[in-house]
Amino acid sequence: PLIWVTLMTSLMASTIITMSSNHWLLAWLGLELNTLSILPIIMKPHHPRATEAATKYFLVQAAAATTILLASTTTAWQTGGWSITHSSPTATLLITVAIMLKLGAAPTHLWYPQVLQGATMSTALVISTWQKIAPLTLLYMMHSHLDHTTMLAIGVTSAIIGGWAGLNQTQTRMIMAFSSIAHMGWLVTAMTISPHLTTLTMTVYVLTTMATFLPLTMTATKTITDI
C-alpha cells in the first residue's frame, strides 16, 4: 500500500511539475517522473502482456523525452534560455513530433492500442486521461509559435485513422484506444483555432472517457459481445 501511495503521489506531482513549469529542463523532469511512476502500475498484473505493454510504453516515452531534451538543449545553446514559450522553428517541430508521440496521435500512434490492450481497464483509463494532461499543457504553452499547417495535418490524420481503424475492432480496449487517437486529432485541430477551445475539448474528452471506462472496469467487459 505504501508503494502505491508513493506511485500515485509521484504520478500526480510529476504532471503538476510539468504544468507549472516554464523551464524545459523542469518540464522534461516532470515527464520522466510521470513515465517512471506509471510503469509499475502497468506491470502490476505480472502477466507477460502487461510486461510487454510496460516495455513498449517505456521505450516510446523515453524516445519522446530524449527528443524533447535534445530540442530544448539545442534551443538553450542557441539562445541561452530554457523558456518553453520561446524556441527556434526546428526545435518547435521536433518537440511537436515528440509530444504527438507521447499523446499517441497519428502517425505516431501504433504503440498506443497495443499498450492499452496489455494493460488493465483501470490502468488504460489512467493512460487515456491523466497521462495526456502534461504533454497537452506543453503544447498549450507553445501554441503561439506552433506551425499551424503541421498541426492541422496531424489533427486530420489522427481523426481519420482513429475513426476508421476503430470500426473493425471487437475488443473494448482497442475501440477505446482508437477513439482516443481520434479525439487527440480533434484536440490538436482545436489547438490551431483557439487554446481555450482545446481546454473545453479536453475536459469533455476526459469526462466521456471516464464515463465509458468506469462501467467497463466494473463489469470486466473485454469484448463487444460481453456487453
DSSP 137-168: HHHHHHGGGS-HHHHHHHHHHHHHHHHHHTTT
What's the confidence (pLDDT) of residue 184? 95
**Residue 35 to residue 87: CA distance in whole angstroms:** 24
Strands (DSSP E) found in the chain: none
pLDDT given for residue 87 in this prediction: 83
List C-alpha distances in Å: 11 to 7, 57, 127, 166.
6, 15, 11, 29
pLDDT score at 195: 86
Contact 69, 28 (CB under 8 A): yes
The CA distance from 222 to 145, in Å, is 42
Ranges of each domain in the chain: 2-226
Low-confidence ranges of the chain (pLDDT < 70): none
Instruction: In whole angstroms, give the CA distance from residue 15 to residue 32.
Output: 10
Query: What are the C-alpha distances in Å from 106 to residues 155, 198, 217?
Result: 8, 18, 26
- What's this model's pTM, rounded to 2 decimal places? 0.92
* pLDDT tens per residue, range 137-194: 999 999 888 888 999 999 999 999 999 999 988 899 999 999 999 999 999 999 998 8
**Cis bond leading into 45, ω under 30°?**
no
The whole-number pLDDT of residue 189 equals: 94
- pLDDT, position 73: 94
Give the separation between CA 219 and CA 130, rounded to whole angstroms: 22
At 127 the pLDDT is 94
Per-state percent for the chain, helix, strand, coil, to nearest 5:
80, 0, 15
| Phi, psi (rounded to 5 degrees) for 155 | -60, -50
pLDDT value of position 204 = 96
CA distances from 10 to 30, 63, 118, 173 (A): 9, 21, 23, 26
pLDDT at 72 (0 to 100):
94
- Cell numbers placing 60: 516510446
